[in-house]
Amino acid sequence: MRRQHSWTVDLLRVFAISVVVVIHWISVRVTVTDGVVRGEPALHGKPIWALSWLIQVMPLFFLAGGFANTLIVDRWRATGATYGEYLGPRIRRLTAPVLALVAVLTPLLAIIGGFSERTATAAAHVVASPLWFLAVYLVAVAVAPGAVAVHDRLPLLLPLALLGCSIAVDALRFGGAGQVAESNLLFVWLFCHQLGVLHARSALGRISDIGVLILAGLCVALLVLMVGPGPYFPTTLGVADAQVSNLAPPTSAISILAVLQLALVTLVDRRVIGWEPSSTLRSIVGAIVPLLMTIYLWHVPVIAVLTGIATLAPTTLLPSDPQTWWETRPLWILLGAVVLAAVVRLSARWDMFCARYASRDATVPAVAGTALAAGGVYSIWQFGLFPAGPALAVLSLVFGAALLSTARRTADKSSAPA
């Protein structure tokens, strides 16, 4: 069965971005001792290990993305348009926010580097840390038409193939070939994206609630077996006493967690059939969902800049006592949310400016632009934005974005969900 728009999925996306922002804003405790700025993980302890499995929402992002992309692919198929007409507008809209990010952060980091190259290099890696998601998601969007087509013929082929590949990578990684681990950035997250395709097609629709609960229970049991004896890691976040997690790079444990989350989302979905949020909630969700990528890209730079400013008065703003530090977190989160909202609003103006010009819809330039943009974003994530080393990565991103744009004006300001 082909699904239409789902408020459950939209609310899930808003919830997920909220969790990501808060976790990133409380996960590192920055202090200043004898004039030296230090950052250390703020989360630790076995209760946090267990909690990390409950609050790990990145699989939900890709699941929701797979759901949304399936609906977009269905509409694209119905029009009979070319692949370029599908790909060009989607990738151009996703790359526009990162262009603004790079344009602002590159000169800022250069200024900081004039005072302290070490600080600028560290800051460059911190502010670029969220970019892995965009690099992988650009690939997911590009392959979505093929992924949906394969699903409509052989629904389990891609999920099983991707899961098998991620397990093989894990086996090599735990066997000592750690250099292959990053391959799972594609295998694991595309698996999660494919679960979104399954959800859009109501793949669990014929399974009873008891059957879905059994599936969820099997996932929990499997995760216990994978993590308990090992070799999988005990957390899905990097914390002080377990800095290597199942997330960076991802392992197949994340894939199993994604299946568990799909089962739970299915159960929730069944209980809200026909439900419509209030007009106020619809307006809020409708305003946030198109800005999810912008929020995601800017939330780490915002807290990094605020923390940098706080180092000017560390005794008051960056207390060394852990308890006092935690007591001030609610105020920091509130301040960060206000600043982030202002930054996102400014960035949205750039997005609106880009939307005035038609995206390229010829297939070859759209594919080339996508490859250059994805490669540039991935390289910036790997190497940061300082010093001059990533210049080629930035040029790749800019050139890719240029290939995806035209000089033709357009009156269409609408945008599909990411």
**Which pLDDT tens digit goes with each residue over 346-401?**
998 998 888 888 888 899 999 999 999 999 999 999 888 876 557 889 999 999 99
Considering only CA atoms, which of 140, 124, 272, 127 is closest in space to residue 194? 140
What does the alpha-carbon distance between residue 237 and residue 242 come to, in Å, rounded to a whole number? Answer: 8
Neighbours of 321 (CB within 10 A): 9
> What are residue 30's DSSP bridge partners?
39
Instruction: Name the helix (H) or strand (E) containing 38.
Output: strand 36-41
**Which pLDDT tens digit goes with each residue over 1-29?**
666 678 888 999 999 999 999 999 999 99
pTM given for the model: 0.92
What does the alpha-carbon distance between residue 55 and residue 261 come to, in Å, rounded to a whole number? Answer: 11
**Which pLDDT tens digit goes with each residue over 32-77?**
887 788 888 899 999 999 999 999 999 999 999 999 999 999 999 9
Residue 415 clears pLDDT 50, i.e. is over it: no
**Which pLDDT tens digit goes with each residue over 186-206?**
999 999 999 999 999 989 988
What does the alpha-carbon distance between residue 196 and residue 9 come to, in Å, rounded to a whole number? Answer: 10
Q: How many residues does the chain have?
A: 418
In the prediction, which pLDDT does 21 show?
A: 96
Token digits of residue 53 = 């499995």
* Residue given tokens 């994530």 in the structure block: 381
**Which pLDDT tens digit goes with each residue over 328-348?**
999 999 999 999 999 999 998
Residue 22 φ then ψ, to 5°: -65, -45
Sign of the alpha-carbon dihedral angle for 341, 346, 294, 357 = positive
Is the distance from CB of 28 to CB of 42 less than 8 angstroms? yes
Token digits of residue 251 = 């392992």
- Verify cis geometry, omega within 30 degrees of 0, for the bond prior to 290: no
- Collect all residues with Cβ–Cβ distance below 8 Å to 42 and sequence separation of at least 6: 26, 27, 28, 29, 240, 322, 325, 326
Is the distance from CB of 364 to CB of 82 less than 8 angstroms? no
- Boundaries of every domain in the chain: 7-409
Is the distance from CB of 19 to CB of 280 less than 8 angstroms? no
- Summarize the confidence of residues 119-129 as an average pLDDT: 85
